[in-house]
C-alpha cells in the first residue's frame, strides 16, 4: 500500500464517521447517515476533480475506499452512545486527521500535472470541501467559515508539497503530523483569521435611524398641536 492510498484511507474513515455522527445529531435516518457520511468523505475530492479537469467518474473506481467508508459509517451507527461521546470530545482531533490526510492526498493528486496554484487549491478543496458539504446538508454554518484557522493549514500543506519540500513517504508523514499539530494548536489557542462583523454596527445604525424617525414624527406632532 503506497503513501497516497494510506492518506486516502485515513481521510475517508475520519470524514465518513464525522458525517455519520453529524447526521445522527440531526436525527437523520440510516439513509441520511450514509448520504451525509459519503458526501463528507468524497465531496471534497469530487469538487477538486471538477476544478482540475479530472473526470468525476473516477470516484466509482475507488471501490475499496467506498467500502471502507460504508464500513466506518455502519460501525459508527451501531456504536454505544458512550463511545460516541468519547468521539465527540475528540472531534477536533479526528477532524484534524481528516483535514491533514485529505489535504496531502489532494496535493499529491495535482503535483506534477498542474502549477503550484492548482496544487494549493486541490489540497484546500480536498481537505475542506467534504466538511463544507456536510455542514450545509446538516443546516449548519460551515465550520471552515466560522471556526479557528482551518483551511489555511490545508493550503500550507499544498504549498509545501507543490514546492517540493516534502516528497518521500517519511517526509509526507512528518508533514501529516505537522498539519495535525498546527490545527490542534489553533483550536487550543483559538487562533482566528481577521474578521469584521457588521451585525452589531448595522443593528446600531437601524436603531439610530428609528430614533431619528421617531424624533422627527414627535416634532411634527408638536408643531401641529401649536398651530
DSSP 153-185: HHHHHHHHHHTTS--SHHHHHHHHHHHHHHHHH
Residue 92 C-alpha cell reads as 477536533
Give tens-digit pLDDT for 71-122: 999 999 998 888 777 776 777 787 888 888 889 988 988 888 889 999 999 9
SS3 111: strand
52: left (phi over 0), alpha (psi -120 to 50) or beta: alpha
Interhelix angle 169-189/151-162, rounded to 10 degrees, is 160
SS3 114: strand
What is the reported pTM? 0.77
Give tens-digit pLDDT for 172-195: 989 999 999 998 898 888 878 777
Rounded to whole angstroms, the Cα distance separating 192 from 127 reads 18
8 A C-beta contact, residue 58 and residue 49:
yes
Amino acid at each position: 500500500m503506497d503513501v497516497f492510498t494510506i492518506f486516502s484511507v485515513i481521510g475517508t474513515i475520519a470524514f465518513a464517521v464525522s458525517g455519520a455522527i453529524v447526521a445522527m445529531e440531526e436525527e437523520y435516518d440510516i439513509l441520511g447517515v450514509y448520504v451525509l457520511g459519503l458526501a463528507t468523505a468524497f465531496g471534497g475530492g469530487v469538487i477538486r476533480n471538477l476544478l482540475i479537469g479530472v473526470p468525476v467518474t473516477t470516484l466509482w473506481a475507488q471501490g475499496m475506499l467506498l467500502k471502507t467508508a460504508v464500513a466506518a459509517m455502519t460501525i459508527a451507527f451501531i456504536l454505544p452512545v458512550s463511545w460516541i461521546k468519547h468521539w465527540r470530545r475528540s472531534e477536533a482531533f479526528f477532524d484534524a486527521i481528516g483535514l491533514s490526510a485529505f489535504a496531502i492526498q489532494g496535493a499529491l493528486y495535482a503535483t506534477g500535472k498542474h502549477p503550484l496554484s492548482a496544487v494549493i487549491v486541490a489540497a484546500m478543496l480536498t481537505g475542506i470541501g467534504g466538511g463544507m458539504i456536510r455542514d450545509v446538508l446538516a443546516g449548519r454554518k460551515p465550520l471552515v467559515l466560522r471556526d479557528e484557522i482551518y483551511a489555511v493549514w490545508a493550503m500550507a500543506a499544498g504549498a509545501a508539497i507543490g514546492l517540493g519540500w516534502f516528497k518521500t513517504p517519511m517526509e509526507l508523514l512528518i508533514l501529516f503530523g505537522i498539519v495535525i499539530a498546527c490545527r490542534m494548536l489553533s483550536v487550543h489557542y483559538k487562533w482566528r483569521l481577521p474578521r469584521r462583523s457588521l451585525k452589531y454596527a448595522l443593528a446600531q445604525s437601524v436603531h439610530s435611524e428609528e430614533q431619528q424617525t421617531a424624533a422627527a414624527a414627535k416634532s411634527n406632532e408638536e408643531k401641529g398641536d401649536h398651530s
